Amino acid sequence: MIVTHDGFLSACLEVVDAEDKDFNLFRLGNYLPQEKKFVVDLSRLNELQNRHADVLAECKSCYARYTCAGGCTHDAGCGQDC
């Protein structure tokens, strides 16, 4: 999980702003500066915790799936249908 330059929490190192086509898929929450706290969307976190090499169709046939464990899911290209 990373914090983007505009205060959003992203589950992917490659998705760092709202301009990315996969922003909504990997957005986990955001920072509330007035309250000085982060808010995490627990349902999104749960969905992303279940997005790994054993369930992603693109990863199932990849020779490196157990090395990255689906860590490159941004590149898997399956979108929200996985």
Q: pLDDT-based confidence at 77, cuts 50/70/90?
A: low
Q: Where are the beta strands (DSSP E) in the chain?
A: 2-3, 8-10, 27-32, 37-40
Q: What is the dihedral of CA 7, 9, 12, 17, to 10 degrees?
A: -30
What is the predicted pLDDT for the residue at 42? Answer: 96
Q: Which of 28, 15, 19 is nearest to 74 (CA)?
A: 15
Q: Does pTM top 0.75 for this prediction?
A: no
- Residue 24 CA to residue 66 CA, distance in Å, equals 26
Count how many residues are written for the chain.
82
